[in-house]
Amino acid sequence: LSRAAILVNEKVRGVRLCFESEGLRVIGHNTEQEEAEDLVEVSYSGESFEVGFNVSYLLDVMNAMEDQEIQLLINDPNSSCLIDSVKNINYRYVIMPMRL
């Protein structure tokens, strides 16, 4: 996420998360046609879909959790996303998606 955050548009701060059978593809780009793309190993079963989030909000959650393993619970690209810590039940965050 931090690598993608470097290249995202300063005003929008949007990053695209693509849930695929191979893993989670994180994509950030800007108006100068520069793009960052990373494939993160995740445990995901379901149909492929993509959703956009403000990368600053995602980074805030990741920095607040002192855990390397998290769980994202999301029904579809237009619904809120619940982020849970796997090891610490006291951490629970909700973020809303954005259209990219």
34-74 confidence digits (pLDDT tens) = 899 999 999 988 899 999 999 999 999 988 887 788 999 99
pLDDT at 88: 84
Predicted confidence (pLDDT) at residue 91 exceeds the cutoff of 90 = no
Total count of domains within the chain: 1
The reply to whether 57 falls in a domain is yes
pTM of the model: 0.86
The reply to whether 87 falls in a domain is yes
For residue 37, the one-letter residue type is E
pLDDT at 2: 84
Element (H, E) at 91: none
The reply to whether 32 falls in a domain is yes
- Which of 73, 16, 78 lies closest to 50 in space, CA to CA? 16
**pLDDT tier for residue 4 given thresholds of 50, 70 and 90:** confident
pLDDT at 8: 86
Alpha-carbon span 99 to 44, nearest angstrom? 22
The reply to whether 100 falls in a domain is no
Per-residue tokens: 87: 């090891």
Give the CATH number, domain containing residue 22.
Answer: 3.10.150.10
Per-residue tokens: 40: 């993160």
**Domain limits for position 28:** 2-95
The reply to whether 72 falls in a domain is yes
- List, in sequence order, every residue forming a beta bridge with 88; answer none if it has no partner: none
